[in-house]
Structure 1
Amino acid sequence: MKDLFTILSSLEKDEHIHLGRLLILTYVFSGDKYIGEIEGLTKLAKLDFLLRYPTYLERALLHNKKKMLKAPPKEYEKTSVESKMVRFRYGPWDFRYRRFINTLVGMGLLYLRKAGRSYYLGITELGIKTTENLGLSEDLKDIFERSKLIKSNFDYSGTNLMKFIYKTFPEIGSLQYGKEIL
């Protein structure tokens, strides 16, 4: 039988997990009328960092004197290496974001809009329906709850979110560029 490390490591290679997580995150950030957008890949990466690493989300909430009452990290998530990101110039990053976004846009679930030098990521009608169907899954309940926590507590600009992450998690800033964040 495979050990937990092998199973969790194989999950990292399953793009569907990442696509679903980014779809849910964008859905939540679209708001009640589904017109909200995430401005920039930097902001998306930082929001996704908090979502992928629930122990960091918990620490970020504690830093802001809040508790993670809904969907706290499970015991296995505290030591899991399922979600690898690397230290990049502007903070935690996954080099596959462009591919993930292009895939979601190509599937008609998200749209990407350029205005000036910025890109805005939003959800389509098909994306809304798909995400609502995902919401029926008990397995994704924590992703939805954590996305809501992130939206209500960390909906900062990309630059301010980056500064918050480096201030709150100084160990990330001390990593060499390209080094995995565990």
Structure 2
Amino acid sequence: MNPVHDTLPAISGPPPSADAQARLLLLIDVFSGTTGDGGVEGRMKLAKLDFLLRYPDRFKQMMAVRGVEADLGEDPWLTGAIEQSMIRYRYGPWDPAYYSLLGALIGKGLIQPSHRDAIATYRTTPAGRQLARALAETDSWRPVRHRARLLRRHLNLSGTRLKDLIYQTFPDIVEANWGTAL
């Protein structure tokens, strides 16, 4: 029994979408770097970066707080509906679908986890890098990759530091009850 896993709300509704997998793949690929030796260190960091990627209005607010002018241009994600809301969980924004999303990407050979000191680092495989680059060349996904690059440049921090910044910038998240949709 895993006490942390057992307290997570059950995943309801349809399985994670291909869009959610694509978004995470793009995020992980940007953090993997050109040689693929980087990656996203830990699920907490992944969740906080994905929160900012998934919610462009929060992304713009965070960039403004950090003193970064983020020109998002013609980004269709700015007006679109979130396909699945994140929830407020123990360490801030979280999506219970991460386990199945990461499992799907690993199972498809698109990302590879490595573990050190009980922290998983997720990086793209050569096949994942190739797919992420192809996605990034499409009109639909180019803005997402652009935002992911801005995240890497300006918010490549530890998961704990990102959580603290999110709590400082968005007090409504701190005040939300666990399990509340964000």
Into which bin does the TM-score normalised by the smaller protein fall? 0.7 to 0.9
SS in 2 for 1:138: coil
Q: Give the Cα separation in 2 of the matches to 1:147 and 1:177.
A: 27
Provide the residue aligned with 2:61 in structure 1: 59
Contact kept in structure 1, 2:29 and 2:39, CA below 8 Å: no
The runs of 5 or more residues in structure 1 that have no matched partner are 1-11
Whose helix proportion is higher, 1 or 2? Answer: 1
Q: Spell out the pairing of 1:123-138 with structure 2 (5 A cutoff).
A: 123-138=124-139
Contact kept in structure 1, 2:26 and 2:148, CA below 8 Å: yes
Contact kept in structure 1, 2:135 and 2:142, CA below 8 Å: no
Using the size of structure 1 for normalisation, the TM-score is 0.87
Q: Spell out the pairing of 1:88-99 with structure 2 (5 A cutoff).
A: 88-99=89-100
Provide the residue aligned with 1:38 in structure 2: 40
Provide the residue aligned with 1:139 in structure 2: 140
SS in 2 for 1:120: strand
Amino acid in structure 2 at the alignment position of 1:96: A
Count of paired positions: 169
Q: Spell out the pairing of 1:78-93 with structure 2 (5 A cutoff).
A: 80-93=81-94
Amino acid in structure 1 at the alignment position of 2:158: S
The runs of 5 or more residues in structure 2 that have no matched partner are 1-13
Amino acid in structure 2 at the alignment position of 1:48: D
Instruction: Report whether the alignment pairs 1:117 with 2:118.
Output: yes
Q: Spell out the pairing of 1:22-37 with structure 2 (5 A cutoff).
A: 22-37=24-39
SS in 1 for 2:141: helix
Which of 69, 72, 85 is 1:70 aligned to? 72
